[in-house]
Every structure is written in C-alpha cells, then in structure tokens.
Amino acid sequence: MSWQTARGYCWARGMRMLGERPAATFGGVLVGALALALPGCIFMLAQMLAPIVSRQPVAEVTAFVTPGTGAAEVKALRSRLEVMDGVARVRFIPREQAWAELQRRMRDGQAFAEIKPNPFPDALVVEFVARTAVPTVEATAAAMSKQPRVESMQADVEWYRRLSGLVQVTAGLLAPIALVVALLVILAAVGLVRQLAVMDSAELRLLDQIGAETDFIRRPFVYAGAALLGLAAAAGLGLMAGVRVLANPPLGELGRLFGLELGLGYPPGPLIVAFVASCLLLGAGAGNVFAGRQIALAKAAR
Amino acid sequence: MAADISPRLTSDQPFVQLDRVSRKYGAFRLALSDANLTIYRSEFVLVIGGSGAGKSTLLRLAGAIEAPSSGRVRIGGEDPARMRPNALAFLRRSIGNVMQEPLLLDRRSVLENVMLPAIASNQTRREAVERARAALNRVRFEDLDALPGELASGARQRVALARAIVNRPALLLVDDPISRFDAAAANNMLQLLEQFAISGVTVLLASQREPERLPARARLIRIDNGVLTQ
C-alpha cells in the first residue's frame, strides 16, 4: 500500500532525525525529562502534603496536672477547661502513657527504661477550634494556668502563628508556581522540537522542490516531535521514580518524628497516561507548527 | 484541478510559457528582465549564458520553484502562482530538476536519494526501488549504496539526474551539467538528455559554454544579464 510506504518513510525519517544527532537528541530528552519531572515532583510533593495542609492548623496547649491529684479532681479540671473560650476538646494523657510513648519513639529506649521513677506528670491536652485567633488562645492559656491543680502550662503559640502564616502563603503561591512551571515545560518542549525543524531545513526544502505534499513534509517532524517528548516524558517518569527512591527513606524518618506518614507516591495511573499523552500531543503539535514555519521560510528565502 | 502535463509526442503545443517575466532579488538585483519564451512539448532547449547571466533563475521559474516578480509563467497551461499547494506539489512531481548544486541528502544512500520523489508521489516501496534502480541504470550509475558525500561532482550530477527522472517527468530542467565534464562525458550527458527529448520529455538545459556537438533537435537560446535572445 502506497500510503503505508509514505507513512513508513515519514516515521523512519522522523526517527532518523533523532538518531542522526544522538548528542542533541540525548540532550533534548534530558532537558525535556528534567522540565517534565519538575512538575511531576511538585505534584508528588503536593499529593503527600495535601492531607496535612488541608487540615486547618489547630492550636494546642498542655496543662500539666499537679502530682498527686486524684482522678476525680482531674475529671473536674478537665470539665472546667472544656467550657473555656475557643476550646474544642480536651484529651487526658496519663503520665504512664506519656512515659511509654517517649520510650517507644526514642531509639535508645533501654537507657530511658533504667530511669526511675517516671518523671512525667498527668497532662490535659487542650485543642482549640480551628482558626481561633492567636490572642484568644493566649488569653485562654493564661486563664487555664490559674486553675487549681494546674502546675504549669505549655503553650507554643508562636508555632501556631507561624504555621497559620505558612499555610496561607503556600496556598496563595501554589497556583502561580504551577503556572510558571507549566509555561517553562511548554517552552522547553517546544524549543527542542524547533531545533529539529531548523536542523533539517535542507531536506525540507528538497521535499518541497520535488513536489512532496505538505502533509508528507510535515509528518516526520510531527512523529519526531512526539517521539522526542514521549521519550522525555518516559525519562521524566524515571527521574520521578529516582527521586522517590532517594527521598522516601528520610521522609519516612521525618514523618515518624511527628507521628505522620510521609512519603512520595506516584500520581494516579490515569493521570500518568494523560501526562504522557499530553507530551506526545505537545511534541506532535510543535513539530507540525515548526515544520510549517520552516517551509514558509524556505519559500520566502527564494 | 491539477495541470494536464502528461507528455505527448506533439511539438506544436506550448508547454512552458514565460510572458514578460522579470525576477528581482532584493530591491536592486534584476536576474531576469522582461523575458518572453515558449517551449513546446518534447522540445530540447539549450540556454547558453555566462555565470550570473540568469540561467538558473530561468530554470527555477520554468520549474515552478520560484514565482516571478512580474509577468506570468504558465506550465501545461496553468499558472503555478495561482495553484493550490497540493496542485502545485502535483505539478512539481512532473518536473525533474537537476540544479547546479544538486541538493542530495549526504547521510542517505544513492538509492534512497533517488527513491525519494517516488515515495513522495505515493508509490509503494517496491515500485520506488524498481524505478530508482531503472533511473540509476539509465544514467549508468552502479554504486547504489554509496553515500553522496563520498562522490565526485560529476557522479553527484548523475545521481541528481537519476532522481530527476525517477518520476518519469514531462519536463526536465538541467542546470549546467556539462561545464564540469570533459568533452567525452559532456557528449554522453547530452546524448542522454537528447534521448529523453526523443522519448517525449521536454528538456531545458542551461550551460555556460556551447557544446562541441549540438544535439540535432536542440533549439539554442542565449541569455546575458537577464535578457533572453533567441
């Protein structure tokens, strides 16, 4: 079939364009892979952080109970704290539980086990309603410290203040950052394919001269562009896998310290398919546009 | 609608017509000035002129590779400047071109270079190979796997000629092939081109010098500073 021959020729020519310039192709795939892996990694990071960031920062203060306080008195204190301004809930952490938890988290638990007696007091952890204003938290914490049977208070309001600010800034910056990265990716990808069209302008002129139809002239560039960005997408996915392998062990360690499950996960399958398909389409489209532009330039130069 | 340019063995039909054609490059360089020329089917026309006289411009206009700055060119009764892109491509496939510097793809074999117009004309690969072998045989070139970059200038011209005839063109444009050859090789080339003309192909040949033996059917035209004299 003649159309198969023509398409086969176009495909072979497109692949030859890449093969005849191994250094440029390799460099192009590498640049494309880096450009494509960047938003991929941002996505993996966002995917990991989404459940954490989506939680509203909640202020917490801890009221340490005077040693020797009976269970009934602790219960009464808890009831009093629960009705104070801005409080969402109060958790009771017995001193034994705090001690056991500390030993579990520390690597050298044996050394702690030898410390006797248990140095921790009973504690009441007060959780505030999300988005409670910082002055309210501070005022309530001060009022709590004056309650009978409260030995001391730990209120890290500064941390709450910083986290609230960080969440607001991150949410505000994420969209513009994503937009800039997307634009950079498109520019890098389109630049790669443009190089191909410029480098092959002599053959393009010849094909025009011998009466090849426009589709026949453009098609190899379309195939080469799609293949180049397809390869870049595959290499980009490889880089993302590499980042995952390298980053997940330290992230896991970090997460354990905060009682969180941290780790980069691949984007969902359909999203990967859409990502690769978009790269193929972008490459094909860029090839088509630049081949057309080179044909026009060749004609104008006569 | 594509032009009817199938070769017919009648020489009373105008095939290429230039009507007051001028071609300017940039603002000042006038390469062809007010040229009038009619070439009939299966005619052999030899254009003689010095370097920079306007021969290549004339061939490019006659081959629908360039458009005139003014005047009108007609090929097979059609004005290429007014044709749709695909119709123009169809017309170009019926015109074989051997330019002064043959544009050969140096990384492809000779056979692949010669096959290219056949593939671009939607021939099957098998047909394209057969045609390319026949064309190379016709110009007496045997090393099908050679790369054009390794060939001498005369051999490159013969490969370009094979590529030009692979689609069995109705019009063959050859730009100055004999200046680079010795007398015997130039004579062989002329005989070959004359055979094409005898078999119905219209031949327009440009040369810097008049050949020692002018082909019997040839019409001689001179060009100097872009002006044609018959």
Question: What ipTM goes with this model?
Answer: 0.80
The pTM of the full predicted model, rounded to 2 decimals, is 0.66
The distance in angstroms from the start CA to the end CA of chain B is 33
Cβ contacts of A202 on chain B, cutoff 8 Å: 103, 105
Q: DSSP strand E in chain A: where?
A: 60-65, 87-93, 123-128, 150-155
Which strands, in side-by-side order, build the sheet including A123-128? A87-93, A123-128, A60-65, A150-155
- Cis amide leading into A117 (omega within 30): yes
Return the number of other C-beta atoms located less than 10 Å from residue B102's C-beta: 21
Residue B224 has pLDDT above 50, yes or no: yes
Cβ contacts of B123 on chain A, cutoff 8 Å: 2, 5
Of A9, A209, A302, the CB nearest to B119: A9
Contact yes or no for B65 and A6 at CB 8 A: no
Give the model's pLDDT for residue A108. 58
Bigger pLDDT: A298 vs A125:
A125
Q: Which of B168, B184, B199 is the last residue of a domain?
A: B168
Dihedral, CA atoms, A138, A143, A144, A149, nearest 10 degrees? 150
Percent of chain B predicted with pLDDT > 90:
40
Bigger pLDDT: B149 vs B8:
B149
How far apart, in Å, are the Cα atoms of A170 and each of A39, A50, A164, A251, A258? 16, 11, 10, 20, 20
Bigger pLDDT: B212 vs A128:
A128
The answer to whether position B3 is within a domain reads no
Contact yes or no for B97 and A212 at CB 8 A: no
Give the model's pLDDT for residue B72. 94
Residue B8 has pLDDT above 60, yes or no: no
Give the model's pLDDT for residue A287. 84
Q: How many CA atoms lie within 13 A of B98 on its CB side?
A: 32
Domain ranges, ordered by start, for chain A: 2-55+163-300, 60-156
Least confident of A195-199, A246-250, B152-156, B202-206: A195-199
Cβ contacts of A2 on chain B, cutoff 8 Å: 122-124, 127
Q: How far is it between the farthest Cα atoms of chain B?
A: 49
Question: How many contacts does A have with B, using Cβ atoms within 8 A?
Answer: 65
Chain A CB within 8 Å of residue B215 CB: no
The answer to whether position B55 is within a domain reads yes
Instruction: Tell whether B144 and B206 lie within a shared domain.
Output: no
Mutate to test the interface with A, among B100, B122, B131 (most CBs of A within 10 A): B122
Instruction: Tell whether B90 and B179 lie within a shared domain.
Output: yes
Of A1, A6, A203, the CB nearest to B105: A203
Phi, psi of A127 (to 5 degrees): -105, 130
Q: Which of B168, B189, B219 is the last residue of a domain?
A: B168
B1 falls in which pLDDT band (50, 70, 90)? very low
Over range A37-49, report the average pLDDT.
82
How many domains are contained in chain B?
2
Give the model's pLDDT for residue B3. 37
The first and second tokens of residue A95, run together, are 């001193």
Q: Which of B168, B198, B221 is the last residue of a domain?
A: B168
What is the torsional sign of CA B147, B150, B154, B157?
positive
Separation of CA A274 from chain center:
18
Return the number of other C-beta atoms located less than 10 Å from residue A8's C-beta: 13
Which chain A residue has its CA at the smallest distance from B103's CA?
A206
Chain B CB within 8 Å of residue A9 CB: yes
pLDDT tens-place string over residues B168-214: 999 999 988 777 677 777 788 888 888 888 888 999 999 988 887 78
Report how far residue B213's alpha carbon sits from residue B187's, in angstroms, rounded to the nearest whole number: 7
The answer to whether position B50 is within a domain reads yes
CATH numeric code, A60-156:
3.30.70.3040
Percent of chain B predicted with pLDDT > 70:
94
Q: B143 is in which domain, residue-wise?
A: 100-168
